Chains A and B, each alone.
Chain A
C-alpha cells in the first residue's frame, strides 16, 4: 500500500503544476531554499534553549515555563516558514522526493520530533509546576529535551542529504 502511494502518478501531476515549473526553473528555487535554511536554523536555534533548559545545561536561572512561553512561538513561526518554503521546493520534484531515502528519513524524523513534542506538551508540561524552577531536572525531562535536540539535528542532516541524492 505504501508502495502504491509512493509510486502514484499523482506525484508527477504535482510536478506539472504551473507553479512547480515556475519555481523549479527560476531564481525562486534558490530564494525559497535560502529562506528555508534560515527558518530551519531558527527552529533549532530557538528550541535549543528550551531543550538545554530541560537538560539542566543552560538558562537555568529562568523557569522552564517562561522559556517555553517566550521561545516556542518563535519555533512555530519559523517552522511555518520552513514548511511553506519546503513545500514550494518539494512540488518541483515531488515524484523523486517521495522515493528519496533521505527525504523519507526526514519526514520520519519530523514525525518523531512531533510525537516527542506532543508527549512533552500533553504528558509532562501539565505537571511542570513541580520542576519549573529546578536546575536538576528529572530524567523524564532530560530524555524529552535530549531527544528533541537529536531528532532536530537528524531532520537537518536528512534534509541536507536530500540534495545529495536527487
Chain B
C-alpha cells in the first residue's frame, strides 16, 4: 500500500469523521446492513448503466437500443449511483480507516475504479460532441468496442475487489 494511503488512514483514525461514522454505524438500528444494501443497489445501477452499455457496444445486449441515445440515457444514472456509493462507502471508510487504507485489496479496488471512471467519462463526453459519435465510422466503432471491453472488465473487478476487502487474509496470509 502506498504511503500516502496509509497516511490518510492515520489521519482519519481518531478524527471527528471516524467518531461520527462509528456513532452512526453503532447507534442507528440496522444501519450497517442498510447502508451496505444502499451500496449494493448502487452497484446494481452500475450494472444496469455502464455494464449494459458496454455489453451493448460489444454487440451482446439490447440490440434495438442506439448507442448514442443509450449513452445519454444511462450515464446520468451511473454518475448518481457513483455519488451515492461514495457516500455509503464513506461510512465504512471513515469508521474503520485502517481496514481500508492499510489493505492492499482496497488499493486494487481504487486502481480498478479510477480508470473505470475515466473511461466512462471519456465515453460520455465524446458521445456528447456529435450525434452517434461512436458509430460515426469503423475506427470509432472499434475504439468504442475496445473501451467497452476494458471498461466491462474493470467494473467487474471493482465489485470483485470490493467484496474481497473483507477477505484479504485469504490472499495475503494463505493457510
A residues with CB within 8 A of B: 27, 30, 33-34, 37-38, 40-46, 48-49, 58-59, 61-62, 66, 70-71, 74, 153, 156-157, 160-161, 163-164
Interface of chain A: mostly helix, strand, loop or mixed: helix
Tell me whether A59 and B52 are in contact in the complex, defined as CB-CB below 8 angstroms, given that A38-B156, A41-B47, A70-B63 are known contacts: no
Q: Which of A42, A48, A62, A157 contacts B33 (CB 8 A)?
A: A157
B51 within 8 A of A: yes
CB pair B51–A58 under 8 Å, yes or no, is no
Residue B17 at the A interface, CB < 8 A?
Answer: no
Per-residue CB proximity of B50-85 to A under 8 Å, as 1/0? 011000000001111100010001000000000000
Q: In whole Å, how far is B42's beta carbon from the nearest beta carbon of chain A?
A: 9
Q: A residues within 8 A CB of B33?
A: 157, 160-161, 163-164
Given the complex, which residues of B lie within 8 Å of A164, measured CB to CB? 32-33
Q: Is the CB of A157 within 8 A of B45?
A: no
Q: Does A48 lie within 8 Å of B163, measured CB to CB?
A: no
| 8 cross-chain pairs, A with B, having the tightest CB-CB distances, nearest first | A45-B48, A45-B47, A44-B44, A34-B163, A30-B167, A41-B44, A41-B43, A157-B37
16-60 of chain B: CB within 8 A of chain A: 30, 32-34, 36-37, 40-41, 43-49, 51-52
In the complex, whether B159 has a CB less than 8 A from a CB of chain A is: yes
- Do B164 and A66 have beta carbons less than 8 Å apart? no
* A41 partner residues in chain B, CB cutoff 8 A: 40, 43-44, 46-47, 159
If over half of B's interface residues share one DSSP class (helix, strand or loop), that class is named, otherwise mixed; here it is helix
- State whether A45 and B51 are in contact (beta carbons under 8 Å apart), knowing that A33-B163, A34-B164 are contacts in the complex: yes
Pair A44/B170 contact, Cβ less than 8 Å: no
Nearest Cβ in chain A — how far from B169, in angstroms?
10
B: interface residue count bin: 20 to 34
Would you give 20 A-B contacts (Cβ < 8 Å), ordered by A? A27-B171, A34-B164, A37-B163, A44-B41, A44-B44, A44-B48, A45-B45, A45-B47, A45-B51, A46-B48, A48-B48, A61-B69, A62-B65, A70-B63, A70-B64, A74-B61, A153-B37, A157-B34, A160-B37, A163-B33
Contact of B52 among A37, A46, A153, A163 (CB under 8 A): A46
B160 at interface by CB-CB < 8 Å: yes
Number of A-B contacts (CB under 8 A): 88
Q: A161-B33, A164-B33 are in contact. Are A30 and B164 (CB under 8 A)?
A: yes
Shortest beta-carbon distance from B149 to chain A in Å: 17
B-side contacts of A70, CB under 8 Å: 61-65
Q: How far does the Cβ of B48 sit from chain A's closest Cβ, in whole Å?
A: 3
Write the nearest CB–CB distance from A86 to chain B, whole angstroms.
14
Q: What is the chain B residue whose CB lies nearest that of A33?
A: B163
| Structural contact, A46 and B170, CB atoms closer than 8 A | no
B170 touching A30 by the CB < 8 A rule? yes
B36 to chain A minimum Cβ distance, whole angstroms, is: 5
Residues of A within 8 A of B64 (CB): 62, 66, 70
Within 8 A of A (CB), among B128-150: none
In angstroms, Cα B62 to Cα A66, docked, is 9
